[in-house]
């Protein structure tokens, strides 16, 4: 039986994989999940929006609801299900000890309006985590307020803008490399700054001369991702920082790729002024289906006065208080104290590892290099040098057989893998960006390598198979544009039909 016959025979949704209608399609008038005894009280007249024309809730029994959601939960793929090699996203394992500590009632039930005297533990945790995070990258102080990496970028750029205002200059442009994440120019724009694109150097890194040619008296600074989104260490960064500072600018480091360098690289010494973390990437907190994450920001000496407020301060007697008198602060960026429960998980992670956090980043880099070395004969490797925590291939070889990165990504689903990041970074045509993280053992890396080599082999010998993939999943190949613009959210998963 070929793969296509298998699809026609319904493999992938036979056995105990069941069709799943919407709750509205299942509901039957009069069905209910509970029975309440007649109370004997006279009827209460409900407001119109609840009674008569209220929401159109489906009528269902309790087992119908429980089964619906339990079945849907088995359709999820997560890092607890299998390898999730999504480059740039650091989908590392989220240790269960983090969850245990976050669920302790003293934390989980603490109210954000508790008086300082009743929240000493939480305040101490905030201060200590800020110190740990700053220490891990060699900077001086940190804030936990930003709720995501992109929010951290906004925080950092607001501080840079405030610093320039305070120091007598209005600068309204930022240098942003071609390889940057789209959030970088967006964050700069939200601070009223225009983007100046910095083209990539020949070896995949920024060149000092290029930056020198673009950096002028209207430029507030540069936003650099290190390692960059090609998974390469920006080796000219110290020189670039020196140049930007000489010409009156500041240096923002996008720390989304911190998993390659945690505890190993002193960003302060290199010359970075401000850096954001993505706790949901490097610090093992959940990505949570798009949120909540957390994007703390660390700064060097000169930006400390501009950090968001209020800030936790430790007094001489060891107690903690909120410091609100911060005349240069950019103000508040988040209600209360940031994503406290996410930060708590990161605190648990950092304390679990201690100085071993260096081993985590070392293993992440080793795993990525192992994959790169084992796969580079089968896939085009645009920058053939040692990588950091992720490696970037292209579909240049497979294109000759009419097979694209998208085809290969879809085929990986048939073979039991979440696809890697595709078509990013934009500077590489047909990019396939693989980030294994330190969570994978050698056997699992080898199995993933075998799957990718099988895909490369199929691209050579059975290209049609790939163009129709996936054939074993619940949903077949979708027209991705229609699926995004006009999603059909009901009924049958529509293999072979429209989106
Ligand atoms: C993920 C990422 C961001 C944005 O972070 P969010 O937490 O998703 O807002 C920014 N830059 C890079 C390089 C990233 O990988």
pLDDT at 85 over 90: yes
Query: Residues 107, 111, 115, CA angle at the centre, nearest 5°?
Result: 105
- Does one domain contain both 409 and 268? no
Same domain for 157 and 290? yes
Mean residue pLDDT of the chain comes to: 91
Residues 416 and 429 reside in one and the same domain = yes
| 364 and 421 fall within a common domain | yes
Q: Report the nearest-CA residue for atom 2 of ligand 1.
A: 256
**pLDDT (mean) for 281-305:** 90
pLDDT in tens, 108-138: 999 999 999 999 999 999 999 999 999 999 9
Structure tokens at 204: 């995949």
Closest-CA residue, ligand 1 atom 11, reads 181
Q: Give the strand pairing for 194-198 and 173-177.
A: parallel
Instruction: Give the model's pLDDT for residue 82.
Output: 92
Question: In the prediction, which pLDDT does 2 show?
Answer: 59
Ligand 1 centroid vs 257 CA: distance in angstroms? 9
Rg, the chain, Cα only? 26
> Could you tell me the two tokens for 309?
């407020």
Q: Is 261 in the pocket of ligand 1 (CB under 6 A)?
A: no
The reply to whether 111 falls in a domain is yes
Could you tell which of 256, 285, 289, 424 is best to mutate to test the pocket of ligand 1, judged by most ligand atoms within 8 Å of the CB? 256
Percentage of the chain modeled with pLDDT above 70: 91
Q: 330-352 pLDDT, tens per residue?
A: 999 999 989 999 999 999 999 99
Question: Is residue 257 a part of any domain in this protein?
Answer: yes
Residue 497 pLDDT > 80, yes or no?
A: no
Q: CA-CA distance, 198 to 177, in Å (whole number)?
A: 4
421 and 304 in a single domain? The answer is no
The residues that bridge with 393 in the sheet, in sequence order, are 432
Shortest-distance Cα residue to atom 5 of ligand 1: 149
Could you tell me if 268 and 403 lie in one domain?
A: no
**Do 305 and 383 belong to one domain?**
no
Among 327, 355, 383, give the residue marking a domain's end: 355
Helices (H), 388-441: 396-399, 405-414
Give 209-232 pLDDT, tens digit per residue: 999 999 999 999 999 999 999 999
Closest ligand 1 atom, CA of 180?
13
Instruction: Quote the CA–CA distance of 357 and 347 in Å, as a whole number.
Output: 12
What's the pLDDT tens digit per position in 408-417?
999 999 999 9
Pairing state between β 320-323 and 391-393? unpaired
Distance 297 CA to ligand 1 centre (A): 13
Both structure tokens of 22: 């919407």
pLDDT band at 496 (very low <50, low <70, confident <90, very high): very low
User: What domain range includes position 439?
Assistant: 359-485
* Same domain flag for 263 and 120: yes
**Residue 392 and residue 231 in contact, taking contact as beta carbons nearer than 8 Å:** yes
Domain count, the chain: 3
User: Does residue 437 line the site of ligand 1, with CB under 6 A?
Assistant: no
- Beta pairing, strands 311-314 & 320-323: antiparallel
Q: Which two tokens stand for residue 462?
A: 């059975």
Among the three residues 328, 355, 382, which one is the final residue of a domain in this structure?
355
Instruction: Choose among 340, 428, 327: nearest CA to 383.
Output: 428
Q: Which residue has the tokens 């990525």?
A: 368
Q: Give the ligand 1 atom nearest the CA of 152.
A: 9
Tokens 């020949």 correspond to 202
- The last residue of a domain, from among 299, 323, 355: 355
Please tell me the residue having the least CA distance from ligand 1 atom 3: 149
Query: Residue 328 domain-assigned?
Result: yes
Neighbours of 465 (CB within 10 A): 19
**Is residue 349 one of the residues assigned to a domain?**
yes
Is the beta carbon of 143 within 6 A of some atom in ligand 1?
Answer: no
pLDDT digits (tens, 9 = 90+) for 440-491: 999 999 999 999 999 999 999 999 999 999 998 888 898 889 988 988 776 5
The protein residue with its alpha carbon nearest to ligand 1, atom 8, reads 149
The predicted pLDDT at position 38 comes to 73
Whether 130 is covered by a domain: the verdict is yes
229 lines ligand 1 (CB under 6 A): yes
Of 270 and 488, the structure prediction assigns the larger pLDDT to: 270
41 has a pLDDT exceeding 80? no
Domain CATH code at residue 451:
3.90.1150.10
| Under 8 Å between Cβ of 244 and 215 | yes
Q: How far apart are the C-alpha atoms of 321 and 290, rounded to whole Å?
A: 33
In a domain, 80, yes or no: no
The CATH number that applies at residue 351 is 3.40.640.10
Q: Do 342 and 369 fall within a single domain?
A: no
CB contact at 8 A, 372 and 388: no
pLDDT in tens, 140-174: 999 999 999 999 999 999 999 999 999 988 899 99
Instruction: Say how many Å lie between the first and final Cα of the chain, rounded.
Output: 26
| 227-260 confidence digits (pLDDT tens) | 999 999 999 999 999 999 999 999 999 999 999 9
Tell me the per-residue pLDDT of 364-388, one tens digit each, with 9 for 90 and over.
Answer: 999 999 999 999 999 999 999 999 9
DSSP assignment of 109-167 equals T--TT--GGG-HHHHHHHHHHHHHHHHHHT-SEEE---SSHHHHHHHHHHHHHHHHHHT
Domain assignment present for residue 2? The answer is no
Q: What's the 278 CA to ligand 1 centre distance in angstroms?
A: 7
* Confidence class for position 292, pLDDT limits 50, 70, 90: confident
Tokens of 308: 């968001």
Q: Could you tell me if 253 and 378 lie in one domain?
A: no
In order of 324, 339, 499, the CA distances from 305 in angstroms are 12, 22, 52
Cβ contact 247:217 at 8 Å: yes
Report the alpha-carbon distance of residue 397 to residue 4 in Å, rounded.
25
295 lines ligand 1 (CB under 6 A): yes
Q: Are residues 346 and 368 in the same domain?
A: no
Minimum-distance ligand 1 atom for the alpha carbon of 150: 9
My answer on whether 314 and 249 are in the same domain is yes
Q: What is the pTM of this model?
A: 0.89
Q: Does 14 have pLDDT greater than 60? A: no
Residue 14, in any domain of the structure: no
């Amino acid at each position: 039986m070929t793969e296509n016959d298998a699809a026609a025979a319904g493999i992938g949704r036979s056995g105990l994989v069941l069709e799943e209608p919407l709750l509205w399609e299942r509901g039957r008038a009069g069905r209910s999940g509970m029975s309440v005894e007649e109370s004997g009280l006279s009827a209460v007249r409900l407001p119109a929006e609840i009674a008569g024309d209220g929401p159109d809730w489906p009528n269902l029994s309790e087992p119908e609801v429980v089964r619906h959601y339990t079945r849907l939960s088995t359709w999820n793929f997560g890092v607890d299900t299998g390898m999730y090699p999504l480059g740039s996203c650091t989908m590392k394992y989220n240790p269960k000890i983090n969850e245990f500590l976050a669920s302790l009632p003293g934390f989980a039930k603490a109210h954000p309006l508790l008086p300082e005297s009743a929240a000493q533990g939480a305040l101490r945790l905030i201060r200590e985590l800020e110190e740990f995070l700053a220490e891990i990258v060699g900077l001086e102080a940190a804030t936990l307020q930003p709720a995501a990496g992109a929010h951290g970028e906004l925080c950092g750029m607001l501080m840079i803008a405030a610093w320039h205002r305070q120091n007598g200059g209005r600068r309204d442009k930022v240098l942003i490399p071609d390889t940057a994440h789209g959030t970088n120019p967006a964050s700069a724009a939200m601070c009223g700054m225009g983007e100046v694109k910095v083209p990539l150097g020949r070896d995949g890194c920024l060149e000092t001369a290029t930056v020198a040619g673009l950096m002028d008296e209207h430029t507030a600074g540069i936003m650099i991702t290190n390692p960059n989104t090609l998974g390469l260490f920006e080796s000219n960064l110290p020189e670039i920082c020196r140049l930007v500072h000489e010409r009156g600018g500041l240096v923002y480091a996008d720390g989304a790729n911190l998993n390659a360098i945690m505890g190993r690289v002193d960003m302060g010494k290199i010359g970075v002024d401000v850096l954001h973390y993505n706790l949901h990437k490097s610090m093992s907190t959940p990505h949570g289906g798009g949120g909540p994450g957390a994007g703390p920001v660390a700064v060097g000496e000169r930006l400390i006065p501009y950090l968001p407020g209020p800030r936790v301060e430790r007094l001489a007697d060891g107690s903690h208080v909120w410091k609100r008198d911060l005349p240069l602060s950019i103000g508040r960026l988040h209600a209360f104290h940031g994503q406290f429960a996410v930060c708590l998980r990161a605190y648990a992670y950092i304390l679990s590892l201690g100085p071993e956090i260096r081993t985590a980043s070392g293993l992440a880099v080793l795993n990525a290099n192992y994959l790169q070395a084992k796969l580079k004969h089968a896939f085009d490797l645009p920058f053939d040098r040692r990588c950091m925590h992720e490696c970037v291939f292209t579909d240049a070889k497979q294109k000759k057989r009419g097979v694209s990165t998208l085809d290969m990504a879809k085929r990986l689903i048939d073979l039991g893998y979440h696809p890697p990041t595709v078509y990013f970074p934009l500077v590489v045509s047909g990019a396939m960006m693989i980030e294994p993280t330190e969570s994978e053992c050698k056997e699992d890396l080898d199995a993933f390598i075998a799957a990718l080599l099988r895909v490369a082999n199929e691209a050579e010998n059975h290209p049609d198979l790939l163009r129709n993939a996936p054939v074993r999943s619940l949903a077949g190949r979708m027209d991705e544009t229609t699926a995004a613009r006009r999603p059909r959210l009901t009924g049958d998963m529509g293999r072979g039909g429209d989106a």
